[in-house]
Amino acid sequence: RRCSKALILLNVPPCVGSRKGNNLKIIIKAKDDVQISRGIVQYRLQSYESWQTLIEEQNNSNVFSFSHKNDHDGITKTDCYEWKIPESIQNTNSAQVRIVLFDDQGLQSEKISEPFSIISNRLSGDVQLSKLNYQVGEKIHIDISVQADNALSEIEGFLFYDTKSHHILYDHDEKGLSDNLHYEISIPDNNLFASKNCYVVIHDAKDIVKNQINIKSDRFTIQIKSELPPPFNYAVNIYEESFDFPDNAQKTNESKEIKFVKIDDQNIAHIIVEHEYDYFQNTASDNQEDIFVRSENHYYLTYNPITGQKSSLIKVCDRKFSILDFIIFSEKPHVLLEKSGKNGIYYSFLDNGSFTSPSQKLNINSPDLKSLPELIQKKDLNFDSSRYAICDGYLWKLSTSDNDVIRYRFQDGIVGDKENIRMNNSVGSITTEYIKPVIDGKIIYYIDSSKNKLILQIKA
């Protein structure tokens, strides 16, 4: 017997496919003109199978609802039941859900959902290499094995060396690739690929039901090929440190750059390196946001080209400061620093194996950047926010937009009148966007950094 007056709406939203281990929301909206006493939610994987009961819910209203405990030890009534699909359940494209309702008169009504899929999300894999030490130009033998309930349909591989990457393979088959794949990949015959920090990543390996994973190999080394002709044999990897991102890191970025190099009288290279990385740490929580992690450090080291020996790294500063300039003064490395978000110039130097805490001090014989506008304005001179340099008794304006270089006589803290120095052999209009002046002793070099060209040099 069926209650003809019961209205039942059953909604099972499986999206592309309901995945094992995930929750499937079953939404039931049911109303009768008499009291609904109870309801039973059932499922079956095939149309010819018997129904299996998921939950039997008691009810005492003409509207059916599920009871859930809330955070305050109370009871919340909703029209939704979440079924955690067992990992052990078989794959199917014909699963159905049924709701059977009983009223207080013993009559019953039922509703059956449209068929939907239940698929497995089991997908893991390994990348194995034939060895962990290679030369530039050599072949890498890569074996990829997967553990999955569905076949792989697409893979894409990248070779990572330091912070760079190189595309090495792509394979695709909609019907499914083999569970065990083998590839031979040639390392480019270029010493730029030499690194002690190399690994292969199979990026977004997808199976035929759109599960996807990233698979990462162990780290390995690519050595320089000594048979390459000079000067390539003499390339030196000055800084080979890399950050090992955690397994739950997402949107990773890493960069390393040599910022300054100075050569002393003993032909020793003094080097400042900048190392930055950032990523989002996946908290795997619906209630907690992912954590953004960022690091930016500067390090100092030396390199002896005769012995080939590099010194140990010494930290100069972190992201609170940026390095404006670097010199060797009185046989000690000195850095000129700018503090993030604040006015003022700082300096630090190497002392007893570490750089001193940044200091901000005013040289009484030279104005700092903050006092410079005040000094010039007292002379009623036209002043802008350009960079200036004090060199050989003059205050030189480092930026220029025409064929003149501007300077002021500067002595004992007093700024003199403006002087225009006309450039010989005019090179035409000069723009300031990419020009970076460099001072070396009494010579000022104006360099177009976008084209790596020397625009002019002035002997002060």
Give the up-direction half-sphere exposure of residue 374: CA atoms within 13 A in the CB hemisphere: 6
| Assigned token pair, 236 | 């030196």
Distance from C-alpha of 336 to C-alpha of 321, rounded to nearest angstrom: 10
CA distance 206 to 209: 8
pLDDT of residue 301: 94
Residue 365 in tokens:
């014989």
Q: How far apart are CA 441 and CA 458, in angstroms?
A: 11
Q: What pLDDT is stored for residue 456 in this prediction?
A: 53
Specify the pLDDT at position 374.
Answer: 45
Q: Which residue has the tokens 């300054």?
A: 260
Compute the C-alpha angle 192/198/200, nearest 5°.
115
The owner of tokens 């530039």 is 136
Residues 29, 9 contacting (CB under 8 angstroms): yes
Model pLDDT, residue 379:
46
Residue among 220, 215, 222, 210 at smallest CA distance from 156: 215
Residues 345, 264, 454, 442: what is their CA dihedral angle, to the nearest 10 degrees?
A: 70
Q: Which residue has the tokens 């690194």?
A: 195
Give the DSSP letter of residue 191. G
Q: Residues 3-22, buried b or exposed e (16+ Cβ, 10 A)? A: beebebebebebeebbbbee
Task: Say which residue the tokens 């730029």 belong to.
Answer: 192
Query: Among candidates 169, 163, 162, which has minimal Cα distance to 142?
Result: 169
pLDDT in tens, the chain (460 residues): 344 445 556 566 554 456 777 888 888 888 888 888 888 999 999 999 999 999 898 888 888 888 776 555 556 678 888 888 888 888 888 889 998 988 888 888 888 988 888 888 888 889 999 999 999 889 999 999 888 888 888 999 999 988 788 999 999 988 888 878 899 999 988 878 888 889 999 988 888 888 888 999 999 999 887 665 555 555 677 888 888 888 888 888 888 888 888 888 888 889 999 999 999 887 766 666 678 899 999 999 999 888 888 999 999 998 888 888 888 877 888 888 887 766 567 788 898 899 998 887 543 333 443 344 444 444 444 444 456 666 667 777 766 655 567 777 877 667 778 887 765 544 444 444 555 556 555 666 666 555 555 545 555 5
How far is it, in rounded angstroms, from Cα 101 to Cα 107?
Answer: 8
Q: Tokens standing for 31? A: 């109303």
In angstroms, the CA 130 to CA 303 distance is 34
Beta bridge partners of 262: 270
- Structure confidence by residue, pLDDT tens digits, 184-230: 999 988 878 888 889 999 988 888 888 888 999 999 999 887 665 55
| C-alpha span between 415 and 319 (Å, rounded) | 35
- What residues contact 229, with CB distance under 8 A and at least 6 apart? none
Looking at residue 390, its pLDDT comes to 67
Q: Are 98 and 109 in contact (CB under 8 A)?
A: no
* Model pLDDT, residue 227: 60
- pLDDT value at residue 12: 60
H or E element in which residue 408 lies: strand 404-411
